[in-house]
Amino acid sequence: MKRILGLTTAALLGASVLAAPALAESKMDLSGDAGATTTMPDVDTGTTAAIGGNFESALTAIGAGSSNAQAIGTLSEVDTVKVVSVSDLEGHDQAALDQAVSQNSDSLDELRTSIGANAALSEELRSQGVDTSAVVAAQIEADGQVTVYVM
């Protein structure tokens, strides 16, 4: 019995040594010092599907206009700005959009003022041909990208 227990223990320990490298977390140095190259997949950033946008997310951003205005007011740098036309979003409902804009007109004014006061963001929007008066919502994504919804 001791022999079977000993063999079983040895087999389990041996198997864990072989499996450990497969379970270990791998970290890569992407600084380029090791001569490694990184290939990014092709991503279609020109569609609303690529940003995961839908009409409900736009309505949520419109409702959070005041807090988004405050967050935009604190931005010192703007790396990426994605401009999304609300009418191009899946599930677009013009009546719901008009109602949301009407109900949130004060926070929308605050958002537009905040965008205008942020030199980096307003310059980027101008370079993309966006008039601040067309903005109905904006939000800062987790990766730091600013998504601006326009009519």
pTM over 0.75: no
Residue 9 belongs to a domain: no
Residue 91 inside a domain? The answer is yes
Burial per residue of 45-60, b for 16 or more beta-carbon CB atoms within 10 angstroms, e otherwise: eeebeebebebebbbe
Q: Assess if residue 28 is contained within a domain.
A: no
In angstroms, what is the C-alpha Rg of the chain?
Answer: 25
Phi, psi of 68 (to 5 degrees): -70, -35
**What residue numbers bound the domain in which 98 lies?**
55-150
% residues pLDDT > 70 (the chain): 65
Domain-embedded: residue 113: yes
6, part of any domain: no
Token pair recorded at residue 123:
């310059």
Structural domains in the chain (count): 1
pLDDT tens track for 19-65:
444 444 333 343 444 443 333 333 333 433 334 568 888 888 888 87
Within a 10 A sphere around the Cβ of 110, how many other Cβ atoms? Answer: 19
Which spans in the chain are helix H?
2-23, 55-63, 65-73, 94-103, 105-117, 119-127
